[in-house]
Structure 1
Amino acid sequence: MIKFALKVVILAAVFFGLTKYDVLSGLNVVENPDGPLGIYGTYLWIGLIFGVVNAIVGPLLRLLSLPFVLLTLGLFLLVINAALLALTAGLTDRLTIDGFGTAIIGGLILAVAGWVADQLLDR
Structure 2
Amino acid sequence: MRLLIVWIINAVSLFMLPYILPSIHLQSFGSAMLAALVLGLVNTLIRPILVILTLPVTVLTLGLFIFVINALLFLFVGNLLSGFSVGGFGAALLGSILYSVISWLLSSLLLGERAA
Question: Which interval holds the TM-score relative to the shorter structure?
Answer: 0.7 to 0.9
SS in 1 for 2:85: strand
* Greater alpha carbon shift after TM alignment, 51-60 vs 104-113: 104-113
Cα shift readout 1:51-105 (whole Å, capped 9, x = no counterpart): 1111111111111111111110111111000011011112211111112110111
**Structure 2 spans left out of the alignment, 5+ residues:** none
The structure whose residues are more often helix, as a share, is 2
Q: Give TM-score, length-normalised by structure 2.
A: 0.82
* Greater alpha carbon shift after TM alignment, 104-113 vs 89-98: 104-113
Cα shift readout 1:3-41 (whole Å, capped 9, x = no counterpart): 44332212101111112xx2011111122xxxxxxxx32
Cα distance, 1:42 vs structure 2: 2.1
Instruction: Indicate whether 1:94 and 2:83 are aligned.
Output: yes
Q: Give TM-score, length-normalised by structure 1.
A: 0.78
Instruction: Indicate whether 1:52 and 2:52 are aligned.
Output: no
**Structure 1 spans left out of the alignment, 5+ residues:** 32-39
- In the alignment of these two chains, the number of paired residues is 112
The CA RMSD over aligned residues, in Å, is: 2.2
Could you tell me how far apart the structure 2 residues matched to 1:75 and 1:69 are? 6
Could you tell me how far apart the structure 2 residues matched to 1:4 and 1:68 are? 33
Q: Which amino acid in structure 2 is aligned with residue 45 of structure 1?
A: L
SS in 2 for 1:96: strand
Could you tell me how far apart the structure 1 residues matched to 2:113 and 2:15 are? 20
1:29 counterpart residue number: 26
Cα distance, 1:112 vs structure 2: 3.3
Identity of aligned residues (%): 30
**Pair 80,88 (structure 1): closer, same or farther in 2 beyond 3 Å:** same
